[in-house]
Amino acid sequence: MSWLIDKYLAFEEPLLDRLAHTTYVHHFIHDKISARITLFLMVMGSIAIVNEINITCKMARATKETSEELNKGYIDESLKLHRLIISDDYHSREYLDEKSGIVIEEFEDREKFFAKPVHVAHLYVECNCVETKEGPALLEKPLLFHLEFSPEEYEGEKRPEFGARLRVLRKRLYHLFKDSKLFEELVKDKENFAIGGNVRVYNAQDELLPVSTDEVQLCFLKMETGDTIRCDFLIGEGSLSDS
């Protein structure tokens, strides 16, 4: 055992001497004990930084894999059955311990915590008007809206960490258009202009998002923060369906 200590001391000596002549660091070294404490803190700090970088890389990789998995799926009713949406063991939960009367919070595994899409904080939406579903755009230059989603719009969700639902986005676009001069000028059947049938929202991959997905949060519908998506206001038909 003594030979191991001697070997460490022989290795430590030049390190401490180097630290004693290093800019800024030498201010913390007054004797051998303070030098050893400084060396220990530097080693532990370096290990912590490496560990943090490793965790960040794993988190980014897991998040990317989850987004890729969602982007490969189809936008339909089956999306509501996605494991991240329906599985409670993917999320932290709180429950009341009846014996102690204390609220206990349980957290999911780290891997599951990372394997989540990031909630959509804001979007750019290019909006145009069409007479029919497959008809040409009526506006020469589309309207561009920048929509930010505040916590008040999703704090009541079962999964608030996933942000706002599609219905929030569709409703905001509906009111933005309905309060504009274009609505008064172009829409003839104002009474039957409906949020679901006449506000046609497309995701970042230009896929139509049906009303059946209005209760799904945006991050599950192939959208990410800062994306530019498209919306068509159907002004020639009053329909409550997307078919």
> Can you tell me the distance from the alpha carbon of 147 to that of 141, in angstroms, rounded to the nearest whole number?
19
Alpha-helical runs (H) found in 92-213: 110-114, 166-178, 181-186, 195-198
Whether the Cβ atoms of residue 29 and residue 19 lie closer than 8 Å to each other: yes
Confidence class for position 158, pLDDT limits 50, 70, 90: confident
Closest by CA position to 121, among listed 70, 66, 162, 90: 162
Give the domain 122-234 fold.
Answer: Ubiquitin-like (UB roll) (3.10.20)
pLDDT tens-digit map of 80-131: 545 565 455 555 666 677 777 787 766 666 666 666 788 899 999 999 999 9
pLDDT tens-digit map of 124-138: 999 999 998 888 999
Q: Which residue type is seen at 37?
A: I
Strands 228-234 and 143-148: unpaired
Q: What are the start-end ranges of the E strands in 119-159?
A: 122-130, 143-148
User: Domain extents for the chain?
Assistant: 2-67, 77-114, 122-234
**More reliable by pLDDT, 88 or 58:** 58
Burial of 165: CB neighbours in 10 Å, binned 0-12, 13-18, 19+: buried
146 token code pair: 């920048």
Q: Which residues pair with 226 in a beta bridge?
A: none
| Distance set, CA 198 to CA 131, 163, 175, 183, 231 (Å) | 10, 24, 12, 12, 10
Q: Which residues pair with 105 in a beta bridge?
A: 94
Q: Determine if the pTM surpasses 0.95.
A: no
